[in-house]
């Protein structure tokens, strides 16, 4: 029997089946339909020490679990988890960095090509029989040739996208709050300055208050009429009304979007934009990569309960150690 097998680990809502299976084998699996404090029974409150989730985890939910020590988030982006509150309550939060970086960067390039060269629309033309009945698909106004690419969020995935863009022979620049040491690409101190210097903006910035609606009308106007905007980061970083307007009135040329503010709901105004390529948040969604993410989420739990430290803690809880849980 694994030494961790008697430790109750909660899974609120849906989670990758491989993660659920491993938690069931290596811990005592406790399931809840949602991360709702009202669903926490005295039995769960009194026993649960670990959790793995891919849903919103509020401060109230953390407080409803007074014995909780660790939240293993399924995903590198953890804006859905109140990590600041977790840190102040002495609860560790982990995420799944690196194992999805290359997959998500591949998807970003796919979106960029879809948006610029209209590949989904060209395929639709063929499937509708229009190639045979009407002739060739119209030449695309967009091209990658001559483009200058700006990356909003030059972190792990941003760097992987930049490497791919370099292979296309295009110059790269970026905006982060701070210039990245050892990175030679041009850094712009503000997003609007970056947008003004490029015609292709790829956002891979995290969600949260510091990036809320960062891509707004001003940024899109700075990008200009040849502008292409790709978002593989989080929908909350974009003013979606302003984006739909900019696509409709020609302020920018096209967009490729994998993420939306209120998933899985996509605003009608964006659905109506024929110059936008829209994907249902599939950045990391291959069997291979999702399994590696599931393993890393569970490995964090195992490492915490056997070694007393996680593998990939998030910054807000980096100093949390076993026994740090504060009661409120
Ligand atoms: P990362 O290595 O932490 O990179 C994030 C970058 O964003 C950092 O370089 C950071 O630099 C910058 N940043 C953070 N806040 C900022 C702000 N307010 N203004 C400007 N720049 C800011 O994370 P990653 O592994 O590359 O992942 C990035 C994000 O991609 C995730 O958080 C997630 O939201 C998204 N993602 C999406 C998918 C998908 O399926 N579509 C899959 C995986 C990840 P500074 O701190 O110096 O500003
Ligand atoms: C996942 C993601 O689809 O890692 C992230 O931040 O957005 C994606 O890889 C998501 O986290 C699953 O909920």
Tens digit of pLDDT for each residue in 271-311?
999 999 999 999 999 999 999 999 999 999 999 999 999 99
Q: How many CA atoms lie less than 13 Å away from 211 in the CB half-sphere?
A: 22
Section 112-139 average pLDDT: 98
Give the relative orientation of helices 119-127 and 101-117 as an angle to the nearest 10 degrees. 70
In the predicted model, what is the mean pLDDT of the chain?
Answer: 98
Residue 123 predicted with pLDDT over 90: yes
| CA-angle at 159, arms to 155 and 161, nearest 5° | 120
Separation of alpha carbons 176 and 158, rounded Å: 10
Please give the distance, rounded to the nearest whole angstrom, from the Cα atom of residue 293 to the centre of ligand 2: 9
User: What pLDDT was estimated at residue 327?
Assistant: 73
Q: What is the pLDDT of residues 51-87, one digit of tens each?
A: 999 999 999 999 999 999 999 999 999 999 999 999 9
SS3 108: helix
Distance of CA 56 to the CA centre of its chain: 14
pLDDT tens digits along 33-51? 999 999 999 999 999 999 9
Kindly state the percentage of the chain with pLDDT values over 90.
98
pLDDT score of 1: 67
Q: Does residue 274 contact residue 247 with C-beta atoms inside 8 Å?
A: no
- Strands 200-203 and 276-278 turn out to be unpaired
Q: What CA–CA distance (Å, rounded) separates 115 from 113?
A: 5
| CA within 13 Å, CB half, 238 | 31
CB of 210 shorter than 6 A to ligand 1 = yes
Please state, in angstroms and rounded to a whole number, the distance separating the CA atoms of residues 185 and 167. 14
Q: What is the DSSP letter of 183?
A: -
Closest ligand (CA of 153): 1
Q: Is position 309 annotated as part of the catalytic site?
A: no
Measured CA to CA, the distance from residue 273 to residue 154 in angstroms comes to: 28
Is residue 26 annotated as part of the catalytic site, yes or no?
A: no
Taking only the tens place, the pLDDT of each residue in 238-252 is 999 999 999 999 999
d(CA 246, CA 270): 10
Q: What domains, with CATH codes, occur in the chain?
A: 8-99+287-327 (3.40.50.720), 101-278 (3.40.50.720)
Q: Is the CB of 153 under 6 A from ligand 2?
A: no
- Using the atom order of ligand 1, give the atom closest to the CA of residue 159: 26
Which ligand 2 atom minimizes the distance to the CA of 96? 4
Ligand 2 atom closest to Cα of 104? Answer: 9
Is 87 close to ligand 1, i.e. is its CB under 6 Å away? no
CA count, 13 A, side-chain hemisphere, 205: 25
Asked if 295 and 44 count as a contact pair (C-beta separation under 8 A), the reply is no
Residue 2's pLDDT band, with cuts at 50, 70 and 90, is confident
Q: What is the mean pLDDT of residues 122-148?
A: 98
Asked if the peptide bond before residue 264 counts as cis, ω within 30 degrees of 0, the response is yes
- For residue 3, the 8-state DSSP code is T
What spacing in Å lies between the alpha carbon of 1 and ligand 2's midpoint? 32
Name which residue sits closest to atom 48 of ligand 1, judged by CA: 177
Q: How much of the chain exceeds pLDDT 70, in percent? A: 99
Instruction: Please state, in angstroms and rounded to a whole number, the distance separating the CA atoms of residues 201 and 222.
Output: 11
Q: State the DSSP string of 261-317.
A: TBTTB--HHHHT-TTEEE--S-TT-SHHHHHHHHHHHHHHHHHHHHHSS-SSB-GGG
Show the tokens assigned to 264. 């899985």
Which residues contact residue 241 at a Cβ distance below 8 angstroms, ignoring those fewer than 6 apart?
267, 269
The number of the ligand 1 atom at minimal distance from the alpha carbon of 178 is: 47
| 328 pLDDT more than 70 | no
228 in helix, strand or coil? strand
pTM over 0.95: yes
Q: Which residues contact 89 (CB under 8 A, 6 or more apart)?
A: 62, 63, 325, 326, 328
Q: Is the CB of 151 under 6 A from ligand 2?
A: no
Ligand 2 centroid–CA 2 distance in Å is 29
Token duo for residue 10 = 């909660």
Ligand nearest to the CA of 75: 2
Cβ of residue 142 lying under 6 Å from some atom of ligand 2: no
130 CB neighbour count, 10 Å cutoff: 13
Taking alpha carbons only, the member of 18, 54, 17 closest to residue 35 is 54
> For the segment 163-206, what is each residue's pLDDT rounded down to a tens digit?
999 999 999 999 999 999 999 999 999 999 999 999 999 999 99
Contact 325, 85 (CB under 8 A): no
Measured CA to CA, the distance from residue 8 to residue 20 in angstroms comes to: 13
């Amino acid at each position: 029997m694994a030494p961790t097998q008697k430790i109750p680990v909660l899974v609120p809502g849906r989670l990758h089946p491989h993660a659920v299976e491993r938690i069931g084998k290596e811990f005592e699996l406790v399931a809840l339909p949602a991360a709702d404090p009202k669903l926490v029974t005295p039995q769960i409150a009194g026993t649960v020490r670990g959790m793995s989730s891919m849903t919103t985890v509020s401060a109230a939910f953390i407080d409803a679990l007074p014995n909780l020590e660790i939240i293993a988030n399924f995903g590198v982006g953890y804006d859905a988890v109140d990590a600041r509150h977790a840190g102040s309550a002495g609860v560790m939060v982990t995420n799944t960095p690196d194992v999805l970086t290359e997959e998500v960067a591949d998807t970003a390039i796919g979106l960029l090509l879809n948006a610029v060269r209209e590949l989904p629309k060209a395929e639709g033309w063929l499937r509708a029989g229009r190639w045979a009945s009407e002739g060739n698909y119209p030449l695309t106004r967009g091209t990658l040739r001559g483009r200058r690419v700006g990356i909003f969020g030059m972190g792990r995935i941003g760097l992987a996208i930049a490497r791919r863009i370099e292979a296309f022979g295009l110059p790269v620049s970026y905006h982060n709050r701070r210039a990245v040491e050892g990175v030679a690409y041009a850094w712009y101190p503000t997003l609007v300055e970056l947008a003004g210097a490029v015609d292709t903006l790829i956002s891979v910035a995290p969600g949260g208050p510091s990036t809320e609606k960062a891509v707004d009308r001003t940024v899109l106007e700075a990008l200009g009429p040849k502008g292409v905007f790709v978002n593989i980061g989080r929908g909350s970083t974009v003013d979606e009304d302003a984006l739909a307007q900019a696509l409709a009135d020609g302020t920018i040329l096209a967009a490729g979007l994998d993420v939306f503010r209120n998933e899985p709901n996509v605003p009608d105004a964006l659905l109506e934009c024929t110059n936008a390529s829209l994907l249902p948040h599939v950045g990391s969604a291959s069997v291979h990569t999702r399994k590696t993410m599931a393993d890393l989420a569970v490995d964090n739990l195992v490492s915490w309960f056997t070694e007393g430290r996680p593998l990939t803690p998030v910054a807000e809880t980096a100093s949390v150690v076993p026994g740090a849980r504060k009661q409120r």
